[in-house]
Every structure is written in C-alpha cells, then in structure tokens.
Chains A and B, each alone.
Chain A
Amino acid sequence: MRLYAAVAVSGFRRYATYRMATAAGVFTNTVFGFILAYTFTALWAERPRLGGYDQAQALTFVWVSQALLATAALLGGGFETELQERIRTGDIAIDLYRPADLQLWWLSADLGRAAFQLLGRGVVPLAAGALCFQLDLPAAPLRWLSFLLAVFMGLLVSFALRYLVALCAFWLLDGSGVNVISMLLGVFCSGMLLPLTLFPGVFGEIVRMLPWASVLQVPLDVLLGRHTGWSLAGALAFQAGWAVALLGLGRLTQARATTKVVVQGG
C-alpha cells in the first residue's frame, strides 16, 4: 500500500513540475469556458429549462466540465500513450518484472495526476466562471463532499476505460486509431459536448447508461443537486458498478496480454 501511495505522490509531483504548461492549460480551459458559456446562454434563452436545467445550472455545467476536463483526461493526455509506447518498445517487460501490480501501479500514478489537475487546472477556471457568470454552486459542504466522491468514482471509470484502450497496444502495437475512437466516445458520451439530458429519446436513454456518463454527467448532476438521498446512492452505485466491471475486465485483459509477451534477448 505504501508503494502505491508513493507512486501516486510522484504522479502528482510529476505534473506539478510543469507550471508554465499548467498556466497555459488553465488559460485555454477558461477561453473555452467563455465561448461555451455564451453559446449555452443563447441556447437556454431560446429554451429555458432545457434538459431540466435552468440557465444558471447550464452555465455551472459548462464551467465545471471545463474544470474537470484535464482531470478526467477525456481528451487523452493521461497515461495511456505512455503505456502504449512502453508496450511497443518492449519496456513493458521491465514493468512486469517489478514487484508491483501493473494495473494498480498505473492507477496510482493516474490518480496522482488527476489530483494535481483537479487543483491546478480546476480551481482557477471555475473561479473565473463564477466571477463572470451567474452560477448555481451549492453552499452546503456535504454536497461538495458527495461531488468529490462522485468525481473520484468517475476517475476510476475513466482510468479503467483508458487502461483497456492502452492494453489494445499489445495486439495492435500502434494505438493511435483506438485512441481516436476512445476520445470520440469520451467527448460525446460523457456530457462534455452537451449535457446528456439533452440527447433525445431512446438514444439518450442508452447514452446515459454507458460508463462514460459516470465520468462527467453523474458528478455534475450530484453537484447540481439532482441526486439526493436514495437517488444519490443509486448514482454512486451506478459509477461503482461500472468501475468494478471495467477494472475487472482490465485485469482479465492484462492477464491474457501478459501471456503474449515475449522478451527478446539482447
């Protein structure tokens, strides 16, 4: 356990090193936040209460999703390209040699990264949004706690999905194609593009049941107070269910993949 904590801390520190890049990322998230906030304002001016949100809630959705964009690594930028590169070059053999579990190792590193990006890239854009627009941020500390819990569960799901994507490199060697598909699904099915409650009909029902919903849509609905009491427990259970299923699938895939590894001498 101490080992994985140390890996997580080094993941945090690794990303904290690049202050300039963090500042640049914050700037970009803020710019996109402004652009989307204006378009959402226009959209909600046409149709107030669209998707069950009022305008302040819709704007909160925009700014919080910008704040979580880097943390949830929906556009990539997490560990997956690095792991794919290690698989391609064969460095993975060294990782398998270590007295640590491969999945837990990368999970700890990714949680460390996410913790830094939640603080480093989340707080400032959200503060900028709250200063310039009328947001609906809750005052109750308990709501924020349950939001953080939902974000954490979302991170587990996000990691599990990206771990599966990364492991594809054992069979494909070149991961760029799967990465594009993963990004496509991540942006579209998480609520990053538009809140999932705006998706029409049966299609919307299906998208809201997919694992990506637990990465962004569920934490946001928790923050906006759409899940309380038993509904909150249900939302967290939904996330936990996907996390367990996908992490388990990751373990199975990892077991299959590692039997394939042939270490060439030299």
Chain B
Amino acid sequence: MVERWASGLRGYGLIVAMWIRATMVYRTSFIINTLGNFLVTGLDFVALLLMFSHIHALGGFGLPEIALLYGATCSSFGLADLLLGNADRIGQRVRDGSFDILLLRPVPVLAQAAADRFAPRRLGRIVQGLLVLGWGISRVDVNWTIGKALFTVVMVISGAAIFSAVFIAGAAFQFWAAEASEVSNSFTYGGCTLLQYPPTVFARELVRGVTFVVPLAFVNWLPALRLLGREDPLGLPGWVSCCGPLVAVAALTAAGLIWRAGLRSYRSTGS
C-alpha cells in the first residue's frame, strides 16, 4: 500500500518535472501565460471592487471580509487546479483512444491523469488568491493569534483537498460521459465563484446543498465565518466549522472510490 503510494507520487513528480522543463523552453510564453492567468482569474475581484464602488456591504459583509472569503477560495482552488486541474482532459483521451497509453505505463493512472500537461502558469491564480487573502486578513476586524493564523492555513489546505476531490470525481464521471467534461466545471469553477460571495447572498437550499451534498462550504464559508465571528446561516453547532480536514479526507476517499469505479467501467474505443 505504502509502496504503491510512493511509486504513484514518484511517477507524478517525474511527469510534473518533465512538463515544467517543457514549459520553460518557451520562457517568454510561460511568463505571458502566467501573467495572463493572474489577470484573468483576478477579474472576479475587479468585479467585486466595481460593485463596492457603488455599495458598502453585500449580504451584510464588507469588502475586507469578502476579500478574505475570495482569497481563501481562490488560493484553495488554485492549488487544486495546479496539482490536478488537467484531470478533466480524461474525457478527450477516452474519446481519441489515447487513454489506453496511460493504462500501459507502470504508474498509477490517477497520477498520470493529474500530472498530464502540468501547467505552471496556474501559479498565477494562486498568487492572485494569496494576495487578496493577505489584503483581506490585514483589513478585517479580527484579533489575530497564532491559533487563528494556523486555522487559516489549515482552511486553505483542506479547501484545496476538497476541490481536489471534486476534480477527481469530475474526471471519473467522464468514464461514463466522455463528452460531458463541462459538467464538472459547474462544480469546480462554479464552486469557486459561488464561494467568493458570502453565504447570506444565496438561497438557503443552495447553502444546504453545498454543505451536505457537495461539501464546498467547508472550503471557506464555515471556517471563515468562525474566524470572522459570524453566525452561519444554517445555524450549525460551532464545532462543525472545524471539521474541514475531516471532510476533506472523507471527500477524497469518496472521490477515490468513484475514480476506481469509473476506471473499472472503462472500455477502450479500440481505435
């Protein structure tokens, strides 16, 4: 078991290193693309700034508080997107038959799928998210302690793990519906957009859905509400907001099982 994990990680590392070397051949292109990624993903924050040029609070939250929510989800999502964002190319590989190649190589398929065309330009989103998070942290009305700082770090990392689970589940879904890669965008990109705004903006059923069905609320909503000392709209007991890491492990396990089931059901197109 441990050996399999080690070989998977080693394979992942080797493929990632290969793609980084390949990207760095076109250094100018890499710089432009990273900058472009930074700017494109930052547009959502520009939209928030434009909104706040007309208003002082959205759903009862001020700009610094929303910046904290936004920065946390963008950093988490950026990490997951960097580490295995290309897993959603699986559908294309299933369609054109090149998925069979992945099955032949002596590296776990998930590691190969995740590292496939690893794109260092995605650092742009992470940097952008962390900058906004940092600005939000410096501006919100919170008495920062070491405990709270650690809590924030754990929030970002377990958020990344939850998004990773969504990415894996979305990739696995394509074993059954190879053309439907865009459905997973609703949960990944859509989830990231959703979490940029405070939960008070949305209908309660929607908030329930992303708490109990697809546990995106644990990425930033529940932990950040705790940091900010705010009531959560569902009125859950206080300890729930500390469950991020546990939820992340559970989500990753579930996603792993779905991936396995998908992989088992794969039939080559034979071309």
Contact = CB atoms under 8 A, between A and B. Distances in A.
15 contacts: A20-B180, A21-B181, A24-B179, A24-B181, A31-B186, A35-B190, A35-B202, A36-B193, A39-B201, A42-B59, A43-B54, A47-B55, A177-B32, A180-B40, A193-B44
A134 interface: no
Contacts of A24: 177, 179-183
B50 A46 contact: no
B54 A21 contact: no
A177 to B, nearest CB: 4
A25 B33 contact: no
Contact of B36 (A18, A184, A188): A184
Contact of A177 (B36, B178, B182): B36
Nearest to A36: B193
A27 B186 contact: yes
B1 interface: no
Interface in A14-32: 18, 20-21, 23-25, 27-28, 31-32
A259 B223 CA distance: 60
Contacts of A28: 182-183, 185-186, 190
A24 B197 CA distance: 24
Interface residues of B, number: 39
Interface stretch (A87-95, A194-202, A222-230, A238-246): A194-202
Contacts of B182: 21, 24-25, 27-28
Interface of A: 18, 20-21, 23-25, 27-28, 31-32, 34-36, 38-39, 41-43, 46-47, 50, 174, 176-177, 180-181, 183-184, 187-188, 193-194, 198-200
A176 B33 CA distance: 7
Contacts of B58: 39, 42-43, 46
Secondary structure at chain A's binding surface: helix, strand, loop or mixed?
Answer: helix
A107 to B, nearest CB: 26
Contact of B39 (A18, A47, A50, A184): A184
A78 B109 CA distance: 31
B6 interface: no
Contact of B51 (A18, A20, A43, A183): A43
B53 interface: yes
A174 B26 contact: yes
A199 B50 contact: yes
Contacts of B185: 28
Nearest to A32: B190
B190 A180 contact: no
A66 to B, nearest CB: 12
B268 interface: no
A38 B181 CA distance: 25
B211 interface: no
B179 A21 contact: yes
A47 B54 contact: yes
Contacts of B146: none
A171 B201 CA distance: 47
Contacts of A25: 182
Given A38-B202, A38-B206, A198 B50 contact: yes
Nearest to B40: A184
B43 A50 contact: no
Nearest to A200: B53
B246 interface: no
B183 A35 contact: no
